[in-house]
Chain A
Amino acid sequence: MDLGVNMPVIGRHKRVLAVVLLALAIGGALAALAVYLHRVDIPVLEPKGPIASQEQHLIIITALLSLFVVIPVLGLVVAFAVKYREGNTKAQYSPTLASSKRFETAWWIYPSALIVVLSIITWNSAHSLDPYKPLDSKTPALTIQVVSLDWKWLFIYPDQRVACVNEMVIPNDTPIDLLLTSDAPMNSFWIPQLSGQIYAMPGMQTQLHLEASSAGTFRGLSANISGAGFSSMTFQTNSTSLSAFRQWIDAAQRSPKALNQGAYSVLARPTENAPISCYADSDTSLFSSIILRYMTPDSSSMSMAPGSRSMNMAEASS
């Protein structure tokens, strides 16, 4: 079959030049990428806590194991394309070769063996890195209750009776037990440098355990779309020494604002780019009351959900 392509005939010199230019272009792009990657933060690959650290190890192990498939497949497809192209008249042509029990068995077994190894790692790591599993530590854990709102994060410290918006301060090398819920649509709580994420859902409580292994400020965000202000749902996690943490608690406890039910219902209204602020003397039953409110008989009526759009919209159709 003549394809009638009439591709232009390129002289040998021009072809060499083309290859050199292509190599330079790709090399240049890769070099620029390397410089860029060296200068930016790559939180998932630069963990600052034991959980994220274990997750990063898994990423690297899995990538390396995958090479057992990537290298043969890419190598063979290029090798076969070059060797068995019709222009290469020296290659053997076996027009009736259509099966081989030996080879077919081999390539059922080879990926299966790889998958067995990966499955063992999958099962073990699913258990060891279960977000609900408390961290092994001699240091007593700090409990923080997290509420995702439209469009900000509320951090309640039930034992210290302070609450903060969009900033979570924690002592380093201390296990943090997070209890999460939402008074807004489904969100996902994620501090990439410290650990993987967990969903926060209204009417439900989820858990996450993490720890920061050094002092620092870590970026946090929501990883599940929750409406118009979703992009602004970033928050800050400050990990400090224990003494600095205690000082921060003291300062927060002297805040003139108190997080009672009234203050909370104002806070829960939809706002974007909420500034960091702290409350003192927070109501210790606030977190459970937020969850329980979704269990009452009239919980689904629209006025009961502070984040609901219809609270602020004149026409609420049904």
Chain B
Amino acid sequence: MTLANEVTGRLTWGAFLHGLITEGAVFGMLLAIIALAALVTYKRRWRWLWREWLTTVDPKKLGVMYILVAITMLVRSGADVLLMRLQQATSVGSSQGVIPTSMFQQLFSAHGTIMIFFVAMGLMFGIINLVLPLQIGSRDVAFPFLNATSFWLFAAGMALVNVSLGIGQFSAAGWLAYPPLSELQYSPGVGVSYWIWSLQIAGIGSLLAAVNFFVTILRMRCPGMTLMKMPMFAWSVLCSMFLAMFAFPILTVTLALLFLDRAIGTHFFTAGGGGNMMMYVNLIWAWGHPEVYILVLPAFGIYSEVVATFSRKPLFGYASMVVALIAITILAFSVWVHHFFTMGAGADVNGFFGIMTMIIAVPTGVKIFNWLATMFRGRIKFATPMYWFMGFVGLFTIGGVAGVMLAMPAIDFQLHNSLFLVAHFHTMLVSGVLFGDFAGLIYWFPKVCGFRLNERLLRYSFWCWFIGFIVVFVPLYILGFMGATRRLDHYAASTGWQPLFIVSGLGSLIIAAGLALLILQVGVSIRQRATTRDVDGDPWNGRTLEWTTTSPPPVYNFATIPVVHGRDPFWAAKQQDAAPSGTRVFSDIHMPKNTPVGMFVGGFAFLVGFTLIWHIYWLTILAVLGLLITAAIRTTSTDESEYIIPASEVARLESSLQGVPA
């Protein structure tokens, strides 16, 4: 081995060379990063960036960071979709379309990976960080430093996926990388390695965050807020984090075993040598199915908050809703085989899992009926979050019907892996998770930033998303029945599929317009913010504790921890014309100090992943050492990790904040 190989592993200059489209994307990415850095330099804000954002442990700031990363990834993955739709609309018969097969296969693999791990998880963790502590009357989460570390691990995973665009390539084995296709035999390059490490690192961040939020809800609710009095969003987060704590370890182990197969030649999942690829499929879906419930439950929680607030009525059937959440949580672990009825498990196994999948539809239906009952005899204000809810009910119901069909093994044999399946799960994920997260972002934006968003542009954006979604996916439902399987980058003209692919492609342009509007309106809203300022912290006539603070809240959230006596405490207090919290006697507030350690952990984790991918083992060792030393320093440090805001300072801050409810 030459010195070059020792130093740079299998990383060569060739890894940096790609086709025109890829290089264009890489160039665009680098340009954006440079432009951002230039802007920060020009405004002389590096100190501020470091102090206020990069080293923060404040969940209100971490939430914003999660969401910014998630939206950026939504744009990136959305661009991937436009390319894929263009390819499928044009690659018919003698035409090979616009991109080579290898790129198409990387595109759909990256699309699924990015959307699930970095957009949906990012939006979810972002909103939880922003809202949860405020909703339960707490100042912070249980483990603030761990919270920051979770974000930086998430960012490291995201960075790895994006670096794969410019250095090497990404996986071409789909978003779940089934073996033996993902084994060394059939994927000898760096693509699957990038996939493994970006998910492994981000997954550990998610697991830590799940523990954090779970403990926060159990231990940090304000006095008087029993579990059955806390907001439904908090319940949905509790259940989702419970799922995450038990599901993510499965992912960690499975990725590790696949890595061992590829790195040192073990035979967990290989074809031959005693390996069993069906084991991988079982394990990855034992994680994968709970994962989709991890994503959708907080979105359901957001809908509960939104519908109650805008109907000006309490959420109907609170106890039923809690039971439904718990039922979904438990059942989520009992349905995973429905993702591979066609693998030949036999009628008894398939039948059992089909029935369990049918059963999980019941609590979901109960939730929808309770939301409808909340609207019943309400006085509904159709602010944009309610539009997203209405869009969700319409689409999710249809997608659910498709799901019931797929849950029946005999039907699934015909529709598995077809575009009908693709349309089904996109319906659930987009109308359930994405619409819910959008509703949450719009609903809580004033609390975070102090002004409301432009309603008119938001509505235009909604209609683009809603109509665009129908135009994209109804053709895909039909194509499934026409015998079109997923992930095809070319098909014969005699199939007659092309017109539907063209319509679907046009639909994706409508959604792109919707996304563009969504992002543009933030800029417009910022410019108009003087007219839409949230002066009293309660722009929607809210019901729960987060609306009792100023917008944005002070760093400590509540000067005095509130005491509550029932559900919807703020609404109750407003009815009685009284304040929800106790008397205004201030005491010293202990807040966690900022720390750069989270960033270092993320940075070293990125390095571990990158160097393992490229076999630069000497650097891996250094990076692991870096992690250990960082952990040792943090653990043994005698520096105070908290700082104190004296009572006098709290009093001064409170009186200077205008219109603060007592």
Interface residues, chain A, with chain B CB atoms under 8 Å away:
1, 3-7, 36-37, 39-45, 52, 54-55, 58-59, 62-63, 66, 69-70, 73-74, 76-77, 80-81, 84-86, 91-100, 103-104, 107-108, 111-112, 115, 118-119, 121-123, 125-133, 185-186, 188, 190, 192-193, 195-199, 201-204, 206-207, 219, 221-232, 234, 293-296, 299-300, 302, 304-305, 307-310, 313, 315-318
| Interchain CB contact under 8 A, B408 and A121 | yes
B483 within 8 A of A: yes
What is the CA–CA distance of A7 and B57 in the complex, to the nearest angstrom?
Answer: 41
| Interchain CB contact under 8 A, B485 and A222 | yes
**Cβ contacts A to B, 19 pairs, < 8 Å:** A36-B500, A41-B496, A42-B482, A43-B481, A58-B411, A104-B320, A112-B362, A115-B361, A126-B354, A126-B408, A190-B483, A219-B495, A223-B342, A223-B485, A224-B178, A224-B417, A230-B487, A294-B271, A309-B188
| Interchain CB contact under 8 A, A98 and B315 | yes
Q: Find chain A residues with CB under 8 A from B98 CB.
A: none
| Interchain CB contact under 8 A, B354 and A122 | yes
| Interchain CB contact under 8 A, B178 and A186 | yes
B48 within 8 A of A: no
| Total count of chain B residues near the partner, CB < 8 A | 117
| Interchain CB contact under 8 A, B455 and A44 | no
Pick the interface stretch among B23-31, B246-254, B363-371, B653-661: B363-371
B449 within 8 A of A: no
What is the CA–CA distance of A91 and B313 in the complex, to the nearest angstrom?
Answer: 14
| Interchain CB contact under 8 A, B376 and A77 | no
| Interchain CB contact under 8 A, B394 and A77 | yes
B68 within 8 A of A: no
What is the CA–CA distance of A137 and B186 in the complex, to the nearest angstrom?
Answer: 41
B617 within 8 A of A: no
B523 within 8 A of A: no
B621 within 8 A of A: no
What is the CA–CA distance of A127 and B348 in the complex, to the nearest angstrom?
Answer: 7
B105 within 8 A of A: yes
What is the CA–CA distance of A308 and B382 in the complex, to the nearest angstrom?
Answer: 58
What is the CA–CA distance of A4 and B541 in the complex, to the nearest angstrom?
Answer: 15
Q: Find chain B residues with CB under 8 A from A80 CB.
A: 372, 375-376, 380
B22 within 8 A of A: no
Q: Find chain A residues with CB under 8 A from B408 CB.
A: 58, 62, 118, 121-122, 125-126
| Residue of A41, A42, A70 touching B398 (CB-CB under 8 A) | A70
Q: A3-B452, A44-B481, A198-B342 are in contact. List 5 more A-B contacts (CB 8 A).
A: A74-B397, A130-B347, A190-B483, A199-B343, A318-B265
B51 within 8 A of A: no
| Interchain CB contact under 8 A, A69 and B397 | yes
Which of B401, B414, B488 is the most central at the interface, judged by chain A CB atoms within 10 Å of its CB?
A: B414
| Interchain CB contact under 8 A, A201 and B272 | no
| Residue of A62, A226, A230 touching B405 (CB-CB under 8 A) | A62
| Interchain CB contact under 8 A, A99 and B318 | yes
| Residue of B271, B312, B373 touching A103 (CB-CB under 8 A) | B373
| Residue of B271, B346, B379, B456 touching A84 (CB-CB under 8 A) | B379
Q: How far is the CB of B503 from chain A (nearest CB, A)?
A: 9
What is the CA–CA distance of A230 and B173 in the complex, to the nearest angstrom?
Answer: 11
Per-position contact with A for B328-365: 1 when CB-CB < 8 Å, else 0?
00000000000010111011101100110011011001
What is the CA–CA distance of A63 and B381 in the complex, to the nearest angstrom?
Answer: 34
| Interchain CB contact under 8 A, B358 and A44 | no
What is the CA–CA distance of A128 and B496 in the complex, to the nearest angstrom?
Answer: 32
B596 within 8 A of A: no
Q: How far is the CB of B413 from chain A (nearest CB, A)?
A: 2
| Interchain CB contact under 8 A, B365 and A77 | no
What is the CA–CA distance of A63 and B402 in the complex, to the nearest angstrom?
Answer: 8
| Interchain CB contact under 8 A, A66 and B404 | yes
Given the known inter-chain contacts A122-B407, A309-B188, please indicate yes or no for A304 contacting B355, CB distance below 8 A: no
| Interchain CB contact under 8 A, A231 and B101 | yes
Pick the interface stretch among B221-229, B273-281, B552-560: B273-281
Q: How far is the CB of B27 from chain A (nearest CB, A)?
A: 26
| Interchain CB contact under 8 A, B180 and A202 | yes
Given the known inter-chain contacts A98-B315, A185-B180, A186-B180, please indicate yes or no for A202 contacting B272, CB distance below 8 A: yes
B63 within 8 A of A: no
| Interchain CB contact under 8 A, B271 and A123 | no
| Interchain CB contact under 8 A, A317 and B10 | yes
What is the CA–CA distance of A313 and B188 in the complex, to the nearest angstrom?
Answer: 9
What is the CA–CA distance of A199 and B179 in the complex, to the nearest angstrom?
Answer: 13
What is the CA–CA distance of A165 and B263 in the complex, to the nearest angstrom?
Answer: 36
| Interchain CB contact under 8 A, A107 and B366 | yes
Given the known inter-chain contacts A62-B408, A92-B377, A307-B186, please indicate yes or no for A300 contacting B273, CB distance below 8 A: yes
What is the CA–CA distance of A274 and B101 in the complex, to the nearest angstrom?
Answer: 17
Q: Find chain A residues with CB under 8 A from B267 CB.
A: 300
B174 within 8 A of A: yes
| Interchain CB contact under 8 A, A195 and B372 | no
| Interchain CB contact under 8 A, B275 and A300 | yes
What is the CA–CA distance of A293 and B348 in the complex, to the nearest angstrom?
Answer: 30
Q: Find chain B residues with CB under 8 A from A198 CB.
A: 342, 344, 413
Given the known inter-chain contacts A73-B372, A309-B185, please indicate yes or no for A55 contacting B413, CB distance below 8 A: yes
B499 within 8 A of A: yes
| Residue of B101, B181, B383, B401 touching A186 (CB-CB under 8 A) | B181
Q: Find chain B residues with CB under 8 A from A97 CB.
A: 313-314, 316, 376-377
B412 within 8 A of A: yes
| Residue of A41, A66, A196, A226 touching B410 (CB-CB under 8 A) | A196
Given the known inter-chain contacts A4-B455, A77-B393, A122-B351, please indicate yes or no for A115 contacting B362, CB distance below 8 A: yes
| Interchain CB contact under 8 A, A84 and B185 | no
| Interchain CB contact under 8 A, B456 and A54 | no
| Interchain CB contact under 8 A, A228 and B101 | yes
B162 within 8 A of A: no
What is the CA–CA distance of A84 and B10 in the complex, to the nearest angstrom?
Answer: 65
Q: Find chain B residues with CB under 8 A from A45 CB.
A: 481
Which of A36, A126, A294 is the most central at the interface, judged by chain B CB atoms within 10 Å of its CB?
A: A126
| Interchain CB contact under 8 A, A123 and B184 | no
| Interchain CB contact under 8 A, A223 and B376 | no
| Interchain CB contact under 8 A, A302 and B346 | no
What is the CA–CA distance of A111 and B367 in the complex, to the nearest angstrom?
Answer: 11
| Interchain CB contact under 8 A, B313 and A94 | yes
For the complex of A and B, 5 pairs with smallest distance between CB atoms: A196-B413, A300-B273, A299-B272, A192-B483, A126-B351
B587 within 8 A of A: no
| Residue of A3, A41, A197, A223 touching B383 (CB-CB under 8 A) | A3
B187 within 8 A of A: yes
Q: Find chain A residues with CB under 8 A from B358 CB.
A: 115, 118-119, 122
What is the CA–CA distance of A135 and B22 in the complex, to the nearest angstrom?
Answer: 51
| Residue of A66, A85, A127, A223 touching B380 (CB-CB under 8 A) | A85
- Smallest Cβ-Cβ distance to B178: which chain A residue: A186
Q: How far is the CB of A289 from chain B (nearest CB, A)?
A: 14
| Interchain CB contact under 8 A, B482 and A41 | yes
Q: Find chain A residues with CB under 8 A from B313 CB.
A: 94-98
What is the CA–CA distance of A302 and B10 in the complex, to the nearest angstrom?
Answer: 20
Per-position contact with A for B405-437: 1 when CB-CB < 8 Å, else 0?
101111111111110000000000000000000
| Residue of B189, B346, B478 touching A37 (CB-CB under 8 A) | B478
Given the known inter-chain contacts A122-B354, A192-B483, please indicate yes or no for A62 contacting B404, CB distance below 8 A: yes
- Smallest Cβ-Cβ distance to A99: which chain B residue: B317
Q: Find chain B residues with CB under 8 A from A315 CB.
A: 188
Q: How far is the CB of B124 from chain A (nearest CB, A)?
A: 25
What is the CA–CA distance of A44 and B416 in the complex, to the nearest angstrom?
Answer: 12
| Interchain CB contact under 8 A, A98 and B412 | no
- Smallest Cβ-Cβ distance to A43: which chain B residue: B483
| Interchain CB contact under 8 A, A98 and B318 | yes
B111 within 8 A of A: no
Q: Find chain B residues with CB under 8 A from A93 CB.
A: 312, 377-379
Given the known inter-chain contacts A44-B415, A231-B490, A299-B272, please indicate yes or no for A122 contacting B184, CB distance below 8 A: no
Q: Find chain A residues with CB under 8 A from B381 CB.
A: 1, 3, 86
Given the known inter-chain contacts A202-B180, A231-B488, please indicate yes or no for A300 contacting B270, CB distance below 8 A: yes
| Interchain CB contact under 8 A, B483 and A44 | yes
Q: How far is the CB of B620 from chain A (nearest CB, A)?
A: 16
Q: How far is the CB of A34 from chain B (nearest CB, A)?
A: 12
